[in-house]
Chain A
Amino acid sequence: MADATASDAFVEFERVQKSYDGETLVVKDLNLTMPRGEFLTMLGPSGSGKTTCLMMLAGFETATHGDIRLGGTSINNIPPHKRGIGMVFQNYALFPHMTIAENLSFPLEVRRIGRSDREAKVKRALDMVEMGAFGGRRPAQLSGGQQQRIALARALVFEPELVLMDEPLGALDKQLREKMQFEITNLAHELGITTVYVTHDQTEALTMSDRVAVFDDGRIQQLDPPDTLYEEPKNSFVAQFIGENNTLEGMVKEINNGLALVQLDDGELIDCQPVHESVKPGARTRVSIRPERVEYNKDRLKEGVHTLKAEVKEFIYMGDIFRTRLSVAGNDEFIIKTRNAPDVDRLKPGQQIEIGWLPEDCRALDA
């Protein structure tokens, strides 16, 4: 599902730009192709333009430049109500003056679907989100999680091919959020709908999506399946934004056999995988290593890899893992994570150790 070709493209953004005030571009150059049935998440910090993209797709904002296509036809000039796109809003937007059943039957009524048909569909949709008994209530009489389900059912009840969700779980507590994440992905896959999901929560993005588009500064920084995104970030923003990450800064000395030799600012040398195009001999670079890929047990390190001296600053016992903060090459916030296993030493603050890693786990990115 990862490589969508133009032939089976369902949703397409082509060179889309958006400006609200005519001075700054909120969306700078958006290119995106989604096949039918994909669950794609737009992930990014607040203000990065995710909602704007969603609103352009739904038709509530017009693109300043570029083309948005749905099923091959350009929808730039189609009004929102004719696009047939289901939407779940962050605040749910359930109509407070209608009962749950009336809320669900609204999209069917405006489509002039007959009463008996309508009732059957509403019932099916309510059962689908396990809210069958609540049809007669008002939205205000439901809990946040229940309102969430109803909003989902309402977006799906008219059987749209594409559903957009803008931070739909933002207002729920952690436990409920995890449960709903699971239910939403299950539903989307079961019904085979194409979903564009917006969130600023990376865990949510990683656990739910087929592909994740990481947004920053009005651009997609990286568009990949979750595992690729986590393990092979293409630039320092993505590396920082997704998961926990350690950064060391230095200069590229040379590139040999596909490995870059980087001299850190305090003079020590490490081996890295050159990832970003800017990584050339003489260029500055930022090196990224995941905390769980750092090894300090000499026996487990490969022969001949470069190691770094480190001083233990803090040791935090977290139950299943140990989280240790080190001072490495001038960086006092260097984190390592180790599994709580019988053969693992518990480090003590002040202890001097040597750390290392596999060159492929250490990625040289843009400075």
Chain B
Amino acid sequence: MLAADGTPLKKSLARALRLQKMRALALIAPLLIFVLVSFIIPIGSMLFRSVENGMVAETLPLTVAELKNWDAESNELPDEAVYAAFVADMVVAIANKEHTRLGTRLNYEKTGMSSLFRKSGRKIKNLDPATDAPFKDKVIDIDKKFGDVETWAVIKTHSVKITNGYFLNAVDMQRTPEGALAQPEDKRILIRLFQRTLIMSLIITGSCILLGYPVAWLLANLQARTANILMILVLLPFWTSLLVRTSAWKVMLQQQGVINDVLVWIGLVADDARLVMINNQFGTIVAMTHILLPFMILPMYSVMQTINPSYLRAAKSMGATNWTAFWRVYFPLSVPGIGAGSILVFILSIGYYITPEIVGGTKGVFISNRIAYHISSSLNWGLAAALGSILLAVVLILYWAYDKIVGIDNVKLG
């Protein structure tokens, strides 16, 4: 097809639309840049950090090159060339004050590496790479750990620029010269933590459904005035600080707390056998159910509001009892709201941090608390990033599974 001036119609149309598209793009550009900077780049950098591992190779370039010729499984120490290269690398690193950072990095893989590098640094500085050869014995003299095959094996194993080591650690395995191996029994905590996070999030989602459904139903079916008051009660928690709400649960649930006091007073519980309801999984589930409940109620409510009351009337006029009318007609129509609320609550709770941190004790913490620990205490950002990436993947997989089973089209927010 040709346009009136002879150019192909397609081209002419594209030209006509281009200006419009450019203008639209310019309008959304600030938002686009904001999303890019605040959302996509951080996630991208997290994903990258979980595999990035340039430090060993950058700080000890000569050593890493020499170690290529050494077989870590031979059970023999590397030869003089490696030690000479190591001294040369270290002198430069010490001058740049990089050797302690390297020690910290290697300490994630083997405890003791941090102090080894810190302490030996001062002495290695006094060696002159040009004149003091041979180095092997001198270096081993400085610290006999340099005479340990394993020290060199760790350096060699973690000298690759892109590593799967953090991900292996995140699933309770480790990178060794022999390949990926399971962590020793006492260090395997992360998989359990993942499982616990998933199971507790499911329980929290379930409790939110059970508690939220009747409330949402009331909201959608009460008279406008009463419903408004109820709605304020539902939203009230949003106006209170999360910390205050969580601490309130601490007051309620602790052994000398309100609930125990009442139970003892009624006589249901003996004074010396007060219930332990806080700093464990129970406390976390109770507090998080309470905190996430509005996220369940609101989508349910907005879906229920769209269910025309004449459906129930029609069902009853056809002979259905109240229960049958609810179960066969109202409930199926409200399922999209349950779906939307569940996805929201589940995804929020799987990454929740503050509440488990405060009321979870040791048994009720989530994987996110471990991530926070690695980011702010152990400074093992690579592992934290790997854990975060796995969490992201789990959420995406569950979302996909939900789409397959229930259908994401069935999720409505109103």
B318 touches A158 (CB 8 A): yes
- Complex partner residue of A110 from B308, B310, B313, B319, CB under 8 angstroms: B319
B407 at the A/B interface (Cβ < 8 Å)? Answer: no
Contact A93 B308, CB 8 Å, known A81-B321, A106-B328, A110-B324: yes
Q: Are A81 and B332 in contact (CB under 8 A)?
A: no
Among A58, A84, A91, A95, which residue has its beta carbon within 8 angstroms of that of B319? A84
**Residue of B308, B317, B319, B325 with highest tally of chain A CB at under 10 A:** B317
| C-alpha gap A162/B145 in the complex (Å) | 97
B392 CB-CB contact with A under 8 Å: no
Interchain CB contact (< 8 A) of B313 among A79, A80, A83, A97: A80
Distance between Cα atoms of A315 and B122 in the complex (Å): 115
Task: Give the distance in Å from the alpha carbon of A89 to the alpha carbon of B312 in the complex.
Answer: 11
Interfacial chain B residues near A89, Cβ < 8 Å: 310, 313-314
With an 8 A cutoff between CB atoms, is B34 at the interface?
no
In the complex, are the beta carbons of A87 and B317 less than 8 A apart? yes
User: Please, what's the 1-or-0 string for B306-336, where 1 marks a CB less than 8 Å from any CB in chain A?
Assistant: 0010110111111111101100110011000
Known: A97-B332, A97-B333, A106-B328. A91 touches B317 (CB 8 A): no
Q: How far is the CB of A170 from chain B (nearest CB, A)?
A: 13
Q: How far, in Å, is A29 (CB) from chain B's closest CB? A: 26
A108 CB to nearest B CB, Å? 9
**B333 pairs with A81, CB closer than 8 A:** no
Chain B residue with Cβ nearest A163: B317
Is A86 close to B, CB under 8 A? yes
Q: Bound state CA distance, A58 and B312, in angstroms?
A: 13
| 0/1 string, A142-156, CB within 8 A of B gives 1 | 000000000000110
Min CB distance B14 to A, Å, is 36
Structural contact, A81 and B310, CB atoms closer than 8 A: no
Q: A341 to chain B: closest CB distance in Å?
A: 49
Query: Given contacts A96-B333, A97-B332, are A86 and B317 in contact (CB under 8 A)?
Result: yes
CB contacts between A and B, total, < 8 Å: 65
Question: Are B313 and A93 neighbours in the complex by a CB distance under 8 Å?
Answer: yes
Given known pairs A89-B310, A93-B308, the reply for A106 and B320 (CB within 8 Å) is yes
Q: Are A81 and B317 in contact (CB under 8 A)?
A: yes
**Is A359 close to B, CB under 8 A?**
no
Q: Closest approach, in angstroms, between the C-beta of B308 and any C-beta of chain A?
A: 6
CA distance A106 to B322 in the complex (A): 14
A107 and B310 contacting across the interface, CB-CB below 8 Å:
no
- Cα A59 to Cα B321 in complex, Å, equals 13
Would you call A95 and B313 a contact (CB within 8 A)? no
Contacts of A154 on B, CB cut-off 8 Å?
314, 318
Chain A, 159-208, CB within 8 A of any chain B CB: none
Contact A81 B314 (CB under 8 A): no
Chain A neighbourhood of B333, CB < 8 A = 95-97
In the bound complex, residues from chain B placing their C-beta under 8 Å from that of A90 are 310
A300 interface residue per 8 A CB criterion: no
Distance in angstroms between the alpha carbons of A79 and B310 in the assembled complex: 16
Q: Considering the chains assembled together, what is the distance between the CA atoms of A106 and B315 in angstroms?
A: 8
Tell me if A53 counts as interface (CB < 8 A to partner B). Answer: no
| Interfacial chain B residues near A91, Cβ < 8 Å | 308, 310
What distance in Å separates the Cβ of B321 from its nearest Cβ neighbour in chain A?
6
Interface residue from A96, A97, A107 paired with B318 (Cβ < 8 Å): A107
Residues of chain A within 8 A (CB-CB) of B317 are 58, 80-81, 83, 85-87, 155
**Chain A residue, CB-CB nearest to B318:** A107
CB distance from B115 to the nearest CB of A (A): 66
Q: Which of A64-115 contact B (CB under 8 A)?
A: 79-87, 89-91, 93, 95-97, 106-107, 110-111
Of B319, B320, B322, which is in contact with the most chain A CB atoms at under 10 Å from its CB?
A: B319
> Nearest chain-A residue to B331 (Cβ)?
A97
Q: Which of A58, A59, A80 has the most CB of B within 10 A?
A: A80
In angstroms, Cα B13 to Cα A174, docked, is 41
Q: How far is the CB of B326 from chain A (nearest CB, A)?
A: 12
Closest to A112 in B: B319
Of the candidates B308, B319, B328, the one whose C-beta lies within 8 Å of that of A81 is B319
Complex Cα spacing A82 to B319, Å = 6
Given contact pairs A81-B319, A91-B310, enumerate 5 new A-B contacts (beta carbons under 8 Å).
Answer: A81-B317, A87-B318, A106-B318, A106-B328, A110-B319
Q: List 5 A-B contacts (CB under 8 A).
A: A81-B319, A83-B317, A85-B317, A106-B320, A110-B321
Would you list the 5 A-B pairs with minimal beta carbon distance, nearest first? A107-B318, A93-B314, A87-B317, A93-B310, A80-B316
